[in-house]
Amino acid sequence: MAPQPGPSRPEQEVSAWRPRIPGVVEVFHAHFTEYAYPMHVHDAWTLLIVDDGAVRYDLDRHEHGTPHDTVTLLPPHVPHNGSPATPHGFRKRVLYLDGTHLPDALIGSAVDQPDLRDPELRLRVGQLHTALDHPGDELEAESRLTLIAEQLHARLRPSGTPSPTPGPTLARTLRELLDEHVTEGISLDEAARLVHAHPAHLVRAFSGAYGIAPHQYLMSRRVDRARRLLLDGRPPGEVATVTGFYDQSHLTRHFRKLVGVTPGRYPRDEHRLRG
């Protein structure tokens, strides 16, 4: 008699890492089919999106859930649990954030309204996770995080609290900084410190003035330099290093996005176009 298959085991997939982004304590991606979290607390803010399925949880003795278009923000030091709300479990992406972007003053508002149904905010959080998954895109991740934090502030702060308006000279100043640091790069926090502006204020000023985000501007400058070196016959791996990309894969991803071909094909394609 053939052996009978045993009972299926609950599926669990977990990936966790600490990126080089100020304020991000941990990135946590998981797929659970049956696992349920007991009541527990974190010492960091929990910013959560669910990509498949749904989660139900209790926070401050009230039951909540996470529909697909929801961003959930759980405050530090407040007990909560979590369990699958669908038969096939859930797939989630989580950021644990320290007080750099979200102060303790917002904890009360987050307890009252932890689930934010906001498709634009959810899209931004997903884009942030994509940037965090690619070493070398730290400026993009910093920019996206600071705008997300600003949006969360707007949702949670008391009504009547004004938000800053971008200044007229910040954009040009930041562009000059980026031009001076094309290869080595500069963090958003460092740029904000040098120009005495809030990071979100700085990103909005730049994007409003030039129609492009700071990280997109920096990558465009690096790709332009890479094009010139590739046409000089330098190999893609070497070009990636000298133009500020994390590695050849990082160069390839941004080069294909902006030029339409990979760095390895670019010199041959360019020569054919000129012929």
At residue 107, what are phi and psi to the nearest 5 degrees?
-60, -45
Residues of the chain within CATH 2.60.120.10 domain(s) are: 11-98+117-124
User: Among the residues of the chain, which ranges form H helices?
Assistant: 107-112, 119-132, 138-156, 170-180, 188-195, 199-210, 214-231, 236-242, 248-259, 266-274
At residue 36, what are phi and psi to the nearest 5 degrees?
-120, 130
Look at strands 24-32 and 37-40 and give their pairing: unpaired
Structural tokens at position 134: 């690619």
pLDDT at 43: 87
pLDDT at 190: 95
User: Burial, 100: exposed, middle or buried (Cβ in 10 Å; 0-12, 13-18, 19+)?
Assistant: middle
Q: What is the pTM of this model?
A: 0.81
Residues of the chain with pLDDT under 70: 1-11, 158-168, 268-275
pLDDT at 167: 65
Question: Which CATH number is correct for 216-274, 3.40.50.360, 1.10.8.60, 1.10.3470.10, 1.10.10.60?
Answer: 1.10.10.60
| CATH superfamily, region 11-98+117-124 | Jelly Rolls (2.60.120.10)
pLDDT at 259: 87
94 beta partners: 28, 48
Over the stretch 50-64, which tens digit does the pLDDT of each residue have? 999 999 999 988 899
Residues of the chain within CATH 1.10.10.60 domain(s) are: 216-274
> Three-state SS string across 120-179, please?
HHHHHHHHHHHHHCCCCCHHHHHHHHHHHHHHHHHHHCCCCCCCCCCCCCHHHHHHHHHH
Please give the angle made by the CA atoms of 116, 188 and 228, to the nearest 5 degrees.
120
Q: Which residue has the tokens 């040098």?
A: 194
